[in-house]
């Protein structure tokens, strides 16, 4: 009896996915719960496992194909009970060999995976744990597996951390870099027949001219589509201001050690801007709204999206009900999102919704930019690099840590005066952090 491998529910508002990578080939044995295939959606990557053991009899949808919920990805055939304990390929092998007149393979040629893994362990010496390729695939994050395929890294050679964490993208990257150290090109590649005969080879006019073509991931395609859509559907405009960060920097300096000791996370600048944004949104509610047809939907809750860079592209996980969160809860939430983004473990619940977005390009060194709206939201606040600059304070030129801030907004429902006043309110609250306490 065949069991169908179906595309599962993909989450709220997600109906399509792209087949990313099959971990098994047709005819290979599978066990219940084993990951068979990865699906890429515009939000997160999902793993589809086997509901029961058997043989992967047929793959219906190839890598790169688009699928919908309920589509059949492949079929699993049950293993006959009379060959229990033997792999399907091994059980059918002798019969085929007998029919062709060829002798069956010797059972001594079958290598025990456990003994092979043990041999690898002993070869690498004590203190370094190695796992088989299949085991490494199981404990690696989706982004780590993807990078391993791109860089040609054997996941079985990646050391498994003793604390039991999954193999991450950084683990694969470290091994890839280490494996390239000291590698020299083969002499046969550098030596042409002419140079071998003592005749100087003609030098190329320039360096190597390589091109590489790769398929866009579904997330990258969605990012591209949404960014273009934002510029085509909204009357987008950006206003700028600058913030003196001296008070925040001094506050962080005084309390950073105590804060880290008490909450286990550093006191960053993002939490100050999240708090300031909530206070400003209360005063200017149209920036916490969206347009639906000819109606404006004002939202009286504050789910702030925080843009995070991830290997597959920018993602915007959402902090829920930020008006009820403390500074520590905001910092812990942002730190967890950053870790999940790198590991590829963000869930659909982490990134759905959101009423307003904050994007901090300053962590990458950006001094000034115009952020693009995250539809259907009508406002996004862009933070930038803190840089010491000469400014006038009380008629005196002094050096202060300054940050440019940018607010992009949908001019269809937000007037320029509202946007400017919103950004001024952000500036006032950050320059005087005590005001955030009065805002509650």
Question: Is 411 one of the catalytic residues?
Answer: yes
Question: 240: which DSSP letter?
Answer: E
CA distance 274 to 436: 10
Bridge partners, residue 74, by sequence: 5, 59
What is the sign, positive or negative, of the torsion defined by CA atoms of 156, 158, 163, 168? negative
Angstrom distance (rounded) from CA 421 to CA 342: 36
Nearest to 191 by CA among 183, 182, 199, 181: 199
CA of residue 220 relative to chain centroid, distance: 11
Torsion of CA 287, 293, 298, 303, to 10 degrees: -70
Active-site residue (options: 124, 165, 300, 411):
411
User: Closest Cα to residue 127, out of 172, 84, 169, 162?
Assistant: 162
Cα 3 → chain centroid: 32
Q: Is the peptide bond before 131 cis (omega within 30 degrees of 0)?
A: no
Q: For tokens 């996941």, what's the residue?
A: 155
The rounded distance, in Å, linking the Cα atoms of 4 and 77 is 9
Judge residue 190's burial from the number of C-beta atoms within 10 Å of its C-beta, 0-12 exposed, 13-18 middle, 19 or more buried: exposed
| Tokens describing residue 325 | 């969160």
Tokens of 77: 């055939």
Please tell me which residue in 66, 257, 415, 432 is annotated as part of the active site: 415
**Side-chain half-sphere exposure of 286, counting CA atoms within 13 A:** 16
How far apart are the C-alpha atoms of 379 and 414, rounded to whole Å?
Answer: 9
Contacts of 369 (CB under 8 A, 6+ apart): 361, 382, 384, 406
Place of tokens 């042409």: 192
Number of residues that this document lists for the chain: 440
How far apart are alpha carbons 282 and 275 in whole angstroms? Answer: 11
Between the alpha carbon of residue 103 and those of residues 83, 109, 110, the distances in Å are: 20, 13, 15
What is d(CA 245, CA 110) in angstroms, rounded to the nearest whole number?
Answer: 67
Residues labelled catalytic: 411, 415
């Amino acid at each position: 009896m065949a069991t169908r491998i179906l595309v599962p529910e993909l989450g709220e508002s997600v109906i399509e996915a792209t087949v990313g990578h099959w971990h098994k080939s047709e005819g290979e044995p599978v066990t219940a719960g084993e990951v068979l295939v990865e699906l890429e959606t515009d939000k997160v990557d999902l793993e589809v496992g086997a509901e029961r053991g058997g043989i992967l009899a047929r793959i219906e949808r190839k890598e790169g194909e688009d699928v919908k919920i309920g589509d059949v990805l492949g079929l699993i055939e049950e293993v006959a009970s009379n060959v229990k304990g033997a792999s399907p390929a091994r059980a059918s092998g002798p019969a085929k060999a007998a029919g062709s007149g060829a002798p069956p393979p010797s059972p001594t040629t079958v290598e025990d995976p456990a003994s092979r893994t043990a041999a690898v362990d002993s070869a690498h010496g004590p203190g370094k744990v190695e796992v088989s390729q299949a085991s490494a695939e199981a404990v690696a994050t989706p982004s780590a597996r993807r990078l391993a395929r791109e860089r040609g890294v054997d996941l079985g050679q990646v050391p498994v951390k003793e604390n039991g964490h999954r193999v991450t993208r950084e683990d694969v990257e470290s091994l890839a870099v280490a494996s390239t150290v000291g590698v020299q090109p083969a002499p046969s590649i550098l030596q042409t027949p002419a140079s071998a005969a003592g005749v100087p080879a003609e030098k190329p006019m320039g360096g190597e001219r390589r091109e590489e073509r790769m398929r866009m991931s579904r997330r990258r395609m969605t990012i591209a589509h949404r960014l273009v859509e934002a510029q085509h559907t909204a009357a987008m405009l950006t206003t700028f201001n600058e913030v003196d960060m001296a008070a925040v920097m001094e506050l962080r300096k005084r309390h950073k050690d105590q804060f880290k000791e008490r909450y286990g996370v550093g006191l960053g600048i993002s939490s100050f801007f999240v708090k300031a944004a909530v206070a400003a949104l209360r005063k200017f509610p149209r920036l916490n709204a969206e347009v639906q047809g000819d109606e404006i939907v004002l939202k009286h809750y504050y789910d702030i999206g925080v843009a995070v860079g991830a290997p597959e592209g920018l993602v915007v996980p959402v902090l829920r009900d930020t008006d009820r969160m403390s500074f520590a809860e905001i910092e812990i939430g942002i730190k967890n999102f950053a870790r999940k983004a790198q590991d590829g473990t963000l869930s659909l619940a982490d990134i759905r919704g959101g009423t307003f977005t904050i994007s901090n390009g300053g962590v990458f060194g950006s001094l000034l930019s115009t952020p693009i709206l995250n539809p259907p939201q009508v406002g996004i606040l862009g933070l930038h690099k803190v840089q010491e600059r000469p400014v006038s304070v009380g008629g005196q030129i002094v050096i202060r840590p300054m940050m440019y801030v940018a607010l992009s907004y949908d001019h269809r429902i937000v007037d320029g005066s509202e946007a400017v006043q919103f950004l001024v309110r952000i500036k006032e609250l950050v320059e005087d952090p005590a005001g955030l306490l009065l805002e509650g």
